[in-house]
Amino acid sequence: MSYCLNPSCPKPINHPKSRLCQACGSKLLLHGRYHLLKGLGKGGFGATFLAADLSLPGKPLCVIKQLRPNTDNPNFLTMARELFEREARTLGRVGNHPQIPRLLDYFEDRQQFYLIQEFVKGNNLQQEVKKNGVLSEVQTRQVLKEVVTILRDIHLQKVIHRDIKPANIIRREIDDRLVLIDFGVVKNQVDSVVSEQTALTAFAVGTPGFAPPEQLAMRPVYASDIYALGVTCMYLLSGKAPKNMDCDPITGDINWFKYVNISDGFAKILTKMLEVAVKSRYKTAQEVLDVLDLEKHGDSLAENMLSNPTATDSNISTNRTGIASGRSQLRDRTTKGSGGRSMSTSKYRNSATARYKTVGQTTSLDQAAKVPTKPMRISAEEVLSAYDAGRKDFGWKDLSMQDLQKVNLSESKFHDSKLIRSNFQGADLHWSNFNDCDLRLSMFRNADLHKCLFHSSNLEGVDLRGANLNGANFKNTKLKGANLCGANLSETNLTKEQLEETKTNWMTIMPTGKRGFW
């Protein structure tokens, strides 16, 4: 179909081949190149449309945002035009981020203003919750970390989003990465005019329930986005909008605890994000990232302390004499995962110790055990059972030819392991350690591998199409023949020499953050 841009048109839908609107006579082709296909939304500021760009090969889809000033006053139009151009430049600047739609064009046509942006195919988080139900704590943590990283980057550009909510976060279909849309800066600065005497810069932006008090009072700060993201996480965990939750009449805090089931650590983070007073809230996105990383490393340290008890000079002999009885008890203990799988603790006990080197006079029960001469062969089921039981160390193991599609094994340790021709398509493996691994010909298509370690690993012939490798470490990594088409390589330490041995395309996000080229 063809869609008419005239806001007063009684019947905007037309035949696909029509050049003029059959109802009002308006031209249907915008700017001589954009063929409007359907309306996506409308409000007091104007409307949003899906269109095809007929001037480019393949007629790619794009999103058109139309701003409609409701006055003919020349002074107002002049000021609106200045604001429009300023905000278009802002959107053009932040649109260089790989997780923000690019600004493709902007122009004025018959006293109406148009922004042309990249079309992102996928469902937003609100649609996901309505379709699939609420997210788990692990999934919500991932959303939080990914979106707060985007906020950190745009805040460095001195831009405040001001409308963070589930409907404005899209999971991009091509690579499952989250994309932040609808900054709304233009519509809110211009449409906020109550009268011709009102200052154009006086505006209140945001969605009720998601916007914090200072933002509704027209004093947004960077921490305003942090609050809105906290409310977004609350919605993802509960499926309830803030308007459907009780509120403390004295403090103004949302009583969200009774609607969710999360760990104390994550609850503490969200509570600080949702502080009504700005001074009590995280001030920057980097602060949120730091506390998430600190909590993760704290959990890892606690796990290592539990699984690797050490002994001093005075009790080495005592520890060694207790090995037999200790191992006998371990063989009797079993752990069960959420899916009902079970395995003896002793079956994966060695995965927590792998190869070791004695440091000084320090040793342990496991350090006194016999070290295998080659990686121990384990199955995908054993890996999942161990992970469900809270064990994440699979170092010095042979997982070749295993099928682990779409599993969650985030923050695991696979160092020194063999994973030849293994299938991790769509798996969540972020923050995992693959140092010194043999990963030849394995499948990691659309996998989440951000912040993973691949130091001195062999990734020859690996399929990494669409994988999220943001911040991964590739020092001394072999990548000959690896497929990186559509992968996100931003903030990695990949060199030009390494990339020359791989396959990339225009959708590949290079270490510089630019698509398709260095």
Positions annotated as catalytic residues are 163
Whether residue 220 contacts residue 162, with contact meaning beta carbons closer than 8 Å, is answered with: yes
Q: Give the three-state DSSP class for 397.
A: strand
Nearest to 130 by CA among 277, 3, 238, 11: 238
Q: Give the three-state DSSP class for 307.
A: helix
Task: List the structure tokens of 174.
Answer: 């091509």
Whether residue 426 contacts residue 446, with contact meaning beta carbons closer than 8 Å, is answered with: yes
HSE-up (13 A, CA, CB side) for residue 399? 29
- Tokens 């752990």, residue? 335
What pairing do the DSSP bridges indicate for beta strands 397-398 and 376-377? parallel
Angle at 425 between CA 419 and CA 429, to 5 degrees: 70
* Sign of the Cα pseudo-torsion (286, 291, 294, 300, in order): negative
Distance CA 282, CA 324 (A): 51
Helix axes 222-238, 264-273, angle to 10 degrees: 140
Distance CA 315, CA 312 (A): 6
Nearest to 437 by CA among 466, 403, 460: 460
What pairing do the DSSP bridges indicate for beta strands 178-180 and 169-172? antiparallel
Distance CA 269, CA 291 (A): 8
